[in-house]
């Protein structure tokens, strides 16, 4: 019996999506959001209404 320690394909985690609470604009995290670099991390701004979306994915180093 062969041993297969590798994970099978098709196990890709779903892409993170951001949702603008102000206008309802929705896009993947790497979509059309305007990326603002801040001291505390990266912030995402809605391209339609310029509302800044809270970013919970920033990892403090």
Residues that bind Zn ion (CB under 5 A): 20, 22-23, 25, 46, 48-49, 51
> Measured between alpha carbons, how far is 6 from 57 in angstroms, rounded to an integer?
28
Residue 45 CB, nearest approach to Zn ion (Å): 9
DSSP string, 6-22: SPPS--PPPPPEEE-TT
Q: How far is the CB of 55 from Zn ion (least distance, A)?
A: 15
Residues 26, 19: contact at Cβ < 8 Å?
A: yes
Q: How far is the CB of 53 from Zn ion (least distance, A)?
A: 8
Query: Which CB sits closer to Zn ion, 6 or 56?
Result: 56
């Amino acid at each position: 019996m062969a041993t297969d320690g590798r994970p099978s394909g098709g196990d890709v985690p779903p892409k993170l999506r951001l949702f603008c609470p102000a206008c309802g604009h929705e896009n993947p995290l790497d979509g059309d959001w305007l990326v603002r670099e801040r001291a505390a991390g990266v912030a995402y701004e809605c391209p339609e209404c310029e509302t800044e979306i809270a970013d919970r994915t920033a990892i403090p180093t």
